[in-house]
Structure 1
C-alpha cells in the first residue's frame, strides 16, 4: 500500500491569506496560528497597504479589521469589491447588529468579533474556502 505522505502527485499550493489589522499582536497571533494550519500568510497594517497587497500579490482569503488607522474597513471592503470577489472575513471589536448588517451588505462573507476563539476562526476559514472552491 502506498504512503500518502510520499505520493508523487503534485500538491496544491498553500492557500494565501492576507491579514489586515493595525494591532501588531493580532497580526502576529493570526500569522502564527494560520501558518501552523499550513496557510501562506501576508500581513498589512492599514487599509491602503492591504489594498495594495491584494492588487499586486493577491490572496485566496482576506481577514480584515474594520478599525484601521487610515480608513474604515468598510471603505476598504467596498473598494475591494469593485475589482475582487475574494472571500472576506471581518475581524473586529464592533459588535453591534447594525454594524454587522452593514458590513455583510457591503460584501463581507463572514463577521467575527474580538475577542475570538482561534479554533472557531479556523473552522470559519475552512467553511468559507470550501464554499468558494
Structure 2
C-alpha cells in the first residue's frame, strides 16, 4: 500500500494510516478530503496579497503627498481626487483581504495594518479640509 504523507495545519505529518480520532476537531470524512484542505491551506500564501497591499499603501501615500504639495494651485482638485481614489482602492483591498483570510491571520493583519489604514483616513481628512 502506498502510504501518502500530508502536512496538516497543526504541524504534524499524517499518513493514510493515521486514525481519524487522532485528528480531533479536524475530523474529515476521508483522507482525500483532509489532504485537499491541508494542501489548500499550504497553497494559499498571503505574501503576494500582503505585498500588493503594501505597494498600494505606498502609492496612496505618494498621491496624498502630491496633493498636499499642490495645495492652493489649480492642480489640487485633480491631485485630491487621484489620492481619494487610491485610498479607496487600498481600503477596499484591505477589506477584501481580511474577508478572505482565516480568522487568526486576519486578526494578526488587523493588529499590524489598522494603524496604517487609520493614518490614510486621517491624511485624507486633512486634504479634504484643504479642499474647502
TM-score band by shorter chain is under 0.3
User: Rg bigger for which structure?
Assistant: 2
Q: What TM-score, normalized by structure 1, do the two folds share?
A: 0.24
Task: Name the one with the larger strand percent.
Answer: 1
**Structure with the larger helix share:** 2
